Structure 1
């Protein structure tokens, strides 16, 4: 029996620590704040974020246009653009390397890539690593130091990829023939900028390849079939060295001009002129690229494309050269040089050059060159040798010597007769003319030009240099003798660059005025007077003879007559610029002084003196005037220079026609012929150049 005062046991009271309650409260408050923030973002800024999701970015994509063409003076096409089928690829903004490889693999089964397209080891490795499994394997093979930097932070994906590439290249990869083809395609595709278009194949694309690619476009996203162009040359190799070259899309911008061209808005794979006319007139020929605005969604898909500017094809160049006449000059120059070789007169010769110019305007009418390797006897076109090679020209410069002396006042039109005695200097071979000593007791200026008297010219130098000649004694010239003669020569163009509108022109080579002991080169001053010291380019020579022909105006030579817009469907548009003849300087001789030299040059061809140098050309009608030249030179073997190199002769010729109304001036040089050569090759070239110019231009 229980006692009445027995109590029921009490439950033990549960106690939750304060810290736990505080933590629960904090969680509740944070959750409430998060809900409030979500509500704020959804309700207040919902539209803004929705717009961000739907946002598109606009990019401007440019595309090349057809390059301007080049025509001769008669409107014949010299350089055109040959349209051809092309397989192109436009790189999407979000495409991955694996996706590009998949397209390249498929495209490789549809087209045949030329084996000539260079495939580097890096190209092979990039293609190899574009496959997901290969990239994952390469990533797993990275060492700790390759995956993490010194601070223990994981390297960026770009850094890790460089290590993956290096490791794979060290290990080496082997690609099958089909994989190599695909790798060539992949390299072109992967190298494109986002949203830019590159050409995969544009040469030799067959109709079958076009059909196959067209049928499978859905399987190869980004690939298209279109048209491209390549430079074509209807005249073959004629004038190719003057016209120059254009880089291919694979070559892109020249490395030495990369930064400059990029700053001008070019892309790395743009085709540009790399030499001569193509380079000099790049800004004219390139045209203006088309511009397309591409709208890209936030998810990197293209939503819209709109053409802003359709582009403008490059402007055309109209040259001063008649291609028919150019071919005639090239042909006769080669024929005569080959004749010299056959006769044994050109064993040391490195070529032959000829140029023609309108003396009244400076328009170049033809420029041709044959470069010859004396060792291999191989010949090549070298028309540019007329502007970038200089030679000792010999007596052809004597017109400038006589006119310089007339302007200097040491002779006058009415008083210019001088004795024609040889000049003897100490320890030096006698200085005389080609004809035997004593042939003439004295000569006037007209006669001296006809028979090409070196003695006459040396006497002019003595007078200009205020020197007294005593046989077998040193000549005491004034220190300014070279300056005096060269200042007159330069008035005619023998010295400064001519300014022709082609890159690469060089100036004269002026020999030293003093020897190693600091003494004046007196003998060389005499040599300079008859053209046997300084060296000139052929374009300088034609500028010089033109200055005499036209009455004293040194004209700037030019080869581009006008720039003309490209019309629609292959037609020509409006002339946008024309070259205006430019007078560089007026030589201050009088008409009487000029008449002396013109009469002398007329007599070179039409005179009656026994030692006249170009009488075989007197039957050319209308009559022409000329001056021949020979200069002592030496053949220097660049591989085996010797102390006593073989002596050779530079044979030169300048002339203008018709004599009474000059419409063409010419200059010719055959350098390093045999020292005893008597072939008169330059006169044969001159005959053809003048007679055929008359014929083509109906000059009677």
Structure 2
């Protein structure tokens, strides 16, 4: 019995020892594992512990190109280098300011975009305590905390702003760009850095944290200044329109079209952005290298404008203006400084050319102002008489055969109102051919209920006459938007209503309201095509960006002619005005027959003169027309404001039409639809 008990006691220590050995072994493994985790993998796990989700930033892709109607490149992308700054969360305003000061020494930065508010903010940034000292205790007490900064802005004077030096403004311009950027999103400080700037920045990159040099693209213009204003500008989003663009999904540091075609077709021209994906720690600093996803260039636009024709018309305008300003009539034409031409297809509304020149008398040079055709308005004179005749026909106050005796009219004050000559009996066609004011005045008087033979009103409807004329004119596009595919346009000046019969009469001969050259081109196109008011347009096609720079991409969209309205007048009534316009350029008494009668392209049209200053004799001279008469393919409007002597309007019209039909004879290039068609170099 005793021996058995001893055997049982001997088993207990063995089991305890085994247990201890097992525990010791497990602890050893745990210690080793902890050592491995902490010593070998410690930094990696520590870094992973601080990681947040991926952060994605974007870079603009190259914009789509623009081509003219013959597929010559007119707006391209030129490879350049940009100085960029990538902001991180741990960099404050003072540090960015110090960095901006360093950059200002190395690069030239334009300061023209700085606003008064920018300068006030910067003055406060530099002189915060001084500005705060200008606020009295009473003002500080009465002002809510959230409005104190506005009060500080009020304390910054013009003298304070003017005290900022050119170097300080350059620093401000750089810092402003740095401040507008998103965290981890490269913000352009300067586009198109020079070789010297690139070399200097590259040499000092280690001390310029966040600064980099990146390949970029800048708009280039093979035809230089020709039509450039209508192509538009590409800039960073203006502060005044930041809310507009960000609400549409743009980033604050985007480059966008800010005017004309670049703005109108921003959604097409803007490419798919390159995406840069970062992994950041909790402080917002990137960990590891970013991953890039390539973007794509924007769609290409093909325009309706023929740049070869545009250049020829610009040349004509400049030559004829130069003759009028510097030639034998120089003294009389001392107020003359500009001229405008719009050429369009009356059947489709396609703008073929939109030329305008302005003469600077100080420098003796001309500059292109094509935007004047849609923004500048003038009294157009007798060119609107076609609309007056059609209004009279439609309202029944005249018929196609109505004859009116053209002789001076007299009213209560005894002063005669007359045409440029006493014409005797004229019908509607001859009234247009010879530009009878008296005929148009009788139309206006009849619309107003005035019987000239009895010198009295049957019904006093002067304001109604205004309404009838103005509403009728609007059917042709006069006094209303033309609908051209640009962000905005002028509609001329509506002078309002009047109870004076004489004012309604002046309205009927184009000396009351004002219109733009584009409105006049739409007006004459409506007469030329038989009564359809077509939307003027600059866009012809949209194409995919091609991988081959010498080929066109796939056709995505083609603009279809858009009829805005059909005028109420009958084809027979429209034909009366068309015949009148034909006689203007072919009849024995036609006001423009001396220049156009023998042209083989058989034009029709109407000249006009609007009196501007009776004392000096300064007038606006205009001309609208189309050709050929039987089958119109081109319509034009010419406006020469503030001229006294000469026929510059007719000379410009002749030169523009001659250029169009001469180029047509030379042969118009075929119209490619395939992706394999070659892109043409500018001629």
TM bucket, shorter chain: 0.7 to 0.9
Query: 2:655 aligned with 1:688, yes or no?
Result: yes
Compute the displacement of 1:410 (Å): 2.9
Where do residues 240-255 of structure 1 align in structure 2 (5 Å cutoff)? 240-247=228-235, 252-255=236-239
Q: Report the counterpart of residue 236 of structure 1 in structure 2.
A: 224
- Report the secondary structure of 1:455's partner residue: helix
User: Cα–Cα, structure 1 residues 94 and 417, in superposed 2: closer, same or farther, change >3 Å?
Assistant: same
Q: Does 1:288 align with 2:275?
A: no
| Cα distance, 1:429–1:283 mapped onto 2, change above 3 Å | farther
Alignment counterpart, residue 500 of structure 2, candidates 501, 517, 521: 521
Matched, 1:599 2:586: no
User: Unaligned stretches of 5+ in structure 2?
Assistant: 1-33, 668-683
Which stretch has the larger CA shift, 115-124 or 350-359?
Answer: 115-124
1:400 to 2:387 alignment: yes
Residues 376-525 of structure 1 mapped to structure 2, 5 A cutoff: 379-413=366-400, 415-427=401-413, 429-435=415-421, 437=422, 439-440=423-424, 442-470=425-453, 477-479=460-462, 480-514=464-498, 520-525=499-504
1:523-538 alignment, distance < 5 Å: 523-538=502-517
Task: Check the 8 A contact 1:469/1:475 in 2, yes or no.
Answer: no
Aligned to 1:330: 314
Select 1:622's aligned residue among 579, 601, 604: 601
Alignment of 1:647-666 (within 5 A): 647-666=617-636
Q: Are residue 260 (structure 1) and residue 244 (structure 2) matched?
A: yes
The residue that corresponds to 2:678 in the other structure is none
Write the distance in 1 (CA, Å) between the matches of 2:171 and 2:507. 66
Give the SS at the match of 2:272. coil
Match of 1:63 in 2: 59
- Is 1:74 paired with 2:61? no
Q: Contact 1:53/1:298 (CA < 8 Å) preserved in 2?
A: no
The CA RMSD measured in Å over matched residues stands at: 4.1
Residue 692 (structure 1) shift: 0.9
Q: Secondary structure at the match of 2:584?
A: helix
Report the Cα distance in structure 2 between the residues aligned to 1:444 and 1:557, rounded to whole angstroms. 33
Deviation at 1:321, TM superposition (A): 0.5
State which drifts further: 654-663 or 98-107: 98-107
What whole-Å deviation, never above 9, does each CA across 1:218-245 have from its counterpart, x for those lacking one?
Answer: 6655443321222222211111222222
Q: 1:203: which partner in 2?
A: 192
What does 1:313-324 align with in structure 2 at a 5 Å threshold? 313-324=297-308
* 1:261–1:448 distance in 2 versus 1, CA, 3 Å: same
Choose 1 or 2 for highest CA Rg. Answer: 1
Higher mean alpha-carbon deviation, 56-65 vs 547-556, is at: 56-65
Cα–Cα, structure 1 residues 457 and 511, in superposed 2: closer, same or farther, change >3 Å?
same
Counterpart CA distance in 2 for 1:217 and 1:453 is 76
Does the CA-based 8 Å contact 1:406-1:412 persist in structure 2?
yes
Shift in Å, 1:555: 0.5
Q: How does 1:84-163 map to 2 (within 5 A)?
A: 84-95=80-91, 111-113=106-108
Which deviates more, 477-486 or 388-397? 477-486
SS of the residue aligned with 2:234? coil
**Counterpart in 2 of 1:565?**
544
Q: Distance in 1 between matches of 2:511 and 2:311?
A: 32
2:642 to 672, 692, 696: 672
Q: CA distance change for structure 1 residues 95 and 463 in 2, over 3 Å: closer, same or farther?
A: closer
SS in 2 for 1:231: strand
Q: What is the distance in 1 between the residues matched to 2:536 and 2:172?
A: 50
SS in 2 for 1:526: helix
Matched residue SS, 2:417:
coil
Distance 1:427 1:623, change over 3 A: same
- In structure 2, what is the Cα distance between the partners aligned to 1:301 and 1:225? 20
Does the CA-based 8 Å contact 2:532-2:563 persist in structure 1? yes
1: CA distance, partners of 2:380 / 2:103? 61
Task: Report Cα offsets for 1:302-327 as digits up to 9, x if no partner.
Answer: 23556575323222222110111111
Residues 140-181 of structure 1, C-alpha deviations (whole Å, 9 max, x = no match): xx9xxx9xx99xxxx9xxx9xxx9xx9xxx999x99999999
Find the residue that maps to 1:272 and give its secondary structure: strand
Match of 1:30 in 2: none
Which range moved further: 79-88 or 262-271?
262-271
1:318-376 CA deviation, whole Å, 9 max, x = no partner? 21101111111112112212222121342223521111110000011111222356899
Asked whether the equivalents of residues 587 and 593 of structure 2 are also in contact (C-alpha less than 8 Å), the reply is no
Partner residue, 1:554: 533
Deviation at 1:101, TM superposition (A): 7.9
Q: What do the CA deviations read for 1:631-656 (whole angstroms, capped 9, x no partner)?
A: 11139xxxxxxxxx644211110100
Aligned-partner Cα distance in 2 for 1:534–1:177: 47
Q: Secondary structure at the match of 1:392?
A: coil
Deviation at 1:663, TM superposition (A): 0.4
Q: CA deviation at 1:607?
A: 1.0
SS in 1 for 2:218: strand
Say whether residues 1:698 and 2:681 are aligned partners: no
| Mean Cα deviation higher: 569-578 or 620-629 | 569-578
After alignment, is 188-197 or 321-330 more displaced?
188-197
Report the number of matched residues. Answer: 599
- CA displacement, residues 468-487 of structure 1 (integer Å, 9 cap, x when unaligned): 11376678642421222222
Sort the Cα spacing of 1:681 and 1:460 in 2 relative to 1 into closer, same or farther, 3 A: same
Tell me the SS of whatever aligns to 2:610: strand
What is the rounded CA distance, in whole Å, between the counterparts of 1:465 and 1:551 in structure 2? 28
Q: Distance in 1 between matches of 2:91 and 2:411?
A: 84
* Between structures 1 and 2, the one with greater helix share: 2
Q: Deviations over 1:368-418 (max 9, x none)?
A: 2223568997754321221112211111111112222222233333x3222
Contact in 2 for aligned 1:244/1:273 (Cα 8 Å): yes
Contact kept in structure 1, 2:345 and 2:634, CA below 8 Å: yes
State the 1:500 CA deviation. Answer: 0.9
Q: Is the 8 A contact 1:468 1:476 kept in 2?
A: no
C-alpha contact 2:349 2:535 (8 A) present in aligned 1: yes
Query: Normalization by structure 2: what TM-score?
Result: 0.77
1-structure distance, mates of 2:168, 2:471: 68
Q: Summarize the Cα distance change of 1:511–1:171 in structure 2 as closer, same or farther, 3 Å threshold.
A: closer
> 2:680 — aligned with what?
none
Secondary structure of the structure 2 residue equivalent to 1:535: coil
Structure-1-length-normalised TM-score = 0.75
Residues 98/388 of structure 1: CA separation in 2 closer, same or farther (3 Å cut): closer
SS at match of 1:62: strand
Contact 2:314 2:355 in 1 (8 A): yes
